[in-house]
Amino acid sequence: MRAFTYGTLLQFKLDIRSRTMLISCYIVPLVFYLIVSGVFTSVMPGYEEGLIESMTVFGVTMGTLIGLPPSLVEIYGGDIKRIYRANNIPVWTGLVLTNISAFLHLLIMSLIIFFTAPYIFGATPPEHPPLYFAILALFIIASQAVSSVIGLAVRDQSKAPAVSIVVFLPSIMLSGIMFPASLLPSPLRLVGRLFPAYWGYEALIADSASALTPLPFLLIAIAAAALCIPLVKKRT
């Protein structure tokens, strides 16, 4: 347990030192949040309503899809997994610790938006914060699961960003944060439902939750985990 805790804290520090994680988990989401919120709240009356939710969905999607895969490719695409395995460090720790650390970073980024948006932009905070954060946690986990599949499936570190962008763009465009998903043609609306961002935004802006709310996140996470397990085995 001590080794696991040390590994988690170490991964958290490594992610702060990593430019990719720093940019994709903090700098781009927060700069995007400040600029877009500044512009839209001044030109679009009522934008304050879903501001926290939409900026959080953007930040989490950016952080997971762009930030997480390179860390996994570094571990599983090269020699790190072999040196870990050779010296009694379980190979699954690469996947698990990277995800725990990314989860914490994304939660911090989300908290920054959650606490600052009402003061800076007069954003309306969610009515039920505990429910909001429970849904947010599910959304982050589902997004990380998809990113983990990319990080494990791609072997070449230079190709990971390209694959991530291919998933990131439709994920954001079809999520409903840019414009209402109801305006999209039905085939695109269906495609959007394959990505966690759509379900994340839907669930975060809803005033209430039902027993079915976690279902899409769980289904996406289970499907992705089912792909991750053989990929980890294949990589080791």
Q: Which residues bind another protein (CB under 8 A)?
A: 2-3, 6-7, 10, 13-14, 17-18, 71, 74-75, 78-80, 82-83, 85-90
Cβ nearer to another protein, comparing 82 with 128: 82
Burial class (CB in 10 A: 0-12, 13-18, 19+), 223: middle
Cβ nearer to another protein, comparing 53 with 74: 74
**CB 188, CB 112: distance < 8 Å:** no
Rounded CA-CA distance 154/169 in Å is 18
DSSP state of 154: -
Residue 150 Cβ vs another protein, minimum distance, rounded to whole Å: 18
Cβ nearer to another protein, comparing 83 with 229: 83
Residue 29 Cβ vs another protein, minimum distance, rounded to whole Å: 21
Cβ nearer to another protein, comparing 17 with 45: 17
Cβ nearer to another protein, comparing 74 with 202: 74
Residues 6+ apart with CB under 8 A from 5: none
Residue 71 Cβ vs another protein, minimum distance, rounded to whole Å: 8
| Residue labelled with tokens 């609306």 | 189
Residue 17 Cβ vs another protein, minimum distance, rounded to whole Å: 4
Rounded CA-CA distance 40/30 in Å is 15
Rounded CA-CA distance 22/43 in Å is 30
Return the CA Rg of the chain: 18
Residue 100 Cβ vs another protein, minimum distance, rounded to whole Å: 15
